[in-house]
Structure formats: C-alpha cells, structure tokens
Amino acid sequence: MKVSVIIVSYNFEKWIDRCLGSLRRSTHPVSVIVVDNGSKDHTVQIIEKKYPEVHLIKTGKNLGFGKANNIGIRCAMEQGADYLFLLNQDAWLSEKTIQTLLTLFKEHPEYGILSPTHLNGKGDKPDFGFSTYSGMKEMEEFVAMQQEREVITLKFINAAFWMIPSHVLNKVGGFSPLFYHNGEDIDYINRLHFHGLLLGYSPHVFGYHDRENREMTRKNFLRLEKVYHLSEYANINYPFSKAFAYGVLAGIKKALQALGKGKMANFGAYLSICCGLLCKTRTIIRIRNKNKKEALNYIRP
C-alpha cells in the first residue's frame, strides 16, 4: 500500500528535522510531499539539501491550509497513493503509526479517517486540544485504553494527524474553499459523517504536536466564533433552514444579548459576522449542494 504524507509548510525550519526525520524512521515506507506556502525562512533550502527524497511544491505565497493541502492531495493521487496522511508541520510521528493505522483501516473499513493519539511536543501528556475532545486527561488513561480497544470513535479530531484512504477522498473530496485557516477540519468531518463514515484514533500509537495552549484573547475568540458560525451554516447534516438558524440567527441572538448587556463592541462584532454570512449565502448554498454529492471535489484543478 502506497502512503503519501502531505505537509503544508510555512516557516517550517524549527520542526523540519523532527517532522521529516520521523517519517524516515517509519516502519512502513512513505513518500513525502511538502507544499510550501511561501516560507520566509530557510525551509526550502533545508529540504532541498537535507531531504532530497521529498517532493517539494513551492506555491510562492500563502494559499491557506485547505487549498495547499488540496494541491498536495492532488499530487499524491496522481502518483497513485492508496492512503494519504495529512501531517502538521509542527508535528511528528512514532515509528509504527503508519503501519498500525493501515492495519486498522483493513480491519475497520467503516472509518473514513484514523489518527494516532495526540501528545504534546514533550510526549509527557495529551495535546491540550485532543485532551478536551477525547476526554482523556492523563497518559495513564491512554495506557489503560491500550489494553481495551484497538480504535476509539470520536465526533471530532483536529487535522494535525489524519490518515485518509484515497477512496474516501473520491467520495468526500478535499477541503472546502469556504475556509482559509481554521474550521477546515470541522467542515470536513461534518461532510465525512454525512457520507456515512466514522472518525477514530488508535491509543496504541502516537503523534507529537509541538504547540502551546495560547491565551484566549478577544481577537482569537471572535475569530473562532466566526469560524464556528460559518461551519454551522455550511453543515450539510442540517437542512438549510436549520443551518441558517444555527449559523446566522444564533449569531444575531448573540449580538442582541451583547447589546442588552451594553457590550457594544461585541454587538458590532457579532453583527459583522452575521452580515458576512448573509453576503455569502448564495456561495454557501452552492457549496452545500456540491458537498452532498460523492465526488473528488476541490482536488481536481
């Protein structure tokens, strides 16, 4: 089985050796595609000098996470990949991760995406995001799970470590152009579920994600709120009336609540989010309809 690992890079220099080095040590051989989104550091030069086996695609500018991944996915599928592994640039894998997930896919074809357990960069505790949606807080819990289950189903796993069979991509497609950076994985998982596929992770292998739990500033909070309401409006598991209620009307409700509390800045922010969604309604309807069809959407040029 041919496995292609796709990494979208932007100023990748800090993590190159840990990330690409872990792929060289994989017990199942992989091909590697790096889609560089216009790095300003020495990313390109280091890859070209130290990792000549990597297929490097230089976009020359920052296309965003989803569009750059779609370019890498198209390249991998043209090269005959049976499975694709989407890997964040600030992340790396344990040696048996690819091999273990391949075995799980063969035994559990009901899954559309499988992931390893997400640990922090030090490997001494679960990644903060993964800990939240998996419900696992300590390493001891993952060790206990290793004795009980091969694969654990979740409603959401972020796209730092996603392994996807090519036949799933032929059904679900690539990342939606509605999302530039943040929310792409939420939207994709919504579409995965619509097409009747499960999402899960193995407690037996690990991915290491070297990121900090950043302070939630007002700016970051409102950006996440914008992504959340967009992902609800685009969610094809809802009929359009429900998507409109959860995406637009819920935002208007938050705006009115902020107004009632005298929080004028938040009132304006939520009003701006809702206006932006309304302006995109025609596009969102078109993309919702497109995503309901089984096709290699957004991958083909």
Distance CA 150, CA 101 (A): 10
pLDDT of residue 215: 75
Distance CA 251, CA 278 (A): 11
pLDDT of residue 80: 97
The four Cα atoms 20, 24, 28, 31 give a dihedral, to 10 degrees, of: 60
> Which of the 8 DSSP states describes residue 134?
H
pLDDT of residue 252: 97
Greatest Cα pair distance in the chain: 60
pLDDT of residue 9: 98
pLDDT of residue 143: 67
pLDDT of residue 247: 98
Residue pLDDT, tens place only, 32-57? 999 999 999 999 999 999 999 999 99
pLDDT of residue 300: 77
- Residues of the chain under the 70 pLDDT cut: 143, 146-147, 214, 301
3-class DSSP state of 178: coil
Which domains are delineated in the chain? 3-209 (3.90.550.10), 218-291 (no CATH)
Q: Is the pTM of this model over 0.85?
A: yes
Q: Please, which residues have CB within 8 angstroms of residue 128's CB and are 6 or more apart in sequence?
A: 120, 213
Tell how strand 31-36 and strand 55-58 pair up: parallel
CB 277 within 8 A of CB 229: yes
CB 105 within 8 A of CB 83: yes
Q: How far apart are the first and last CA of the chain?
A: 26
Distance CA 53, CA 97 (A): 20
Q: Torsions phi, psi of 91, nearest 5?
A: -145, 160
pLDDT of residue 93: 98
Structure tokens at 191: 């579409």
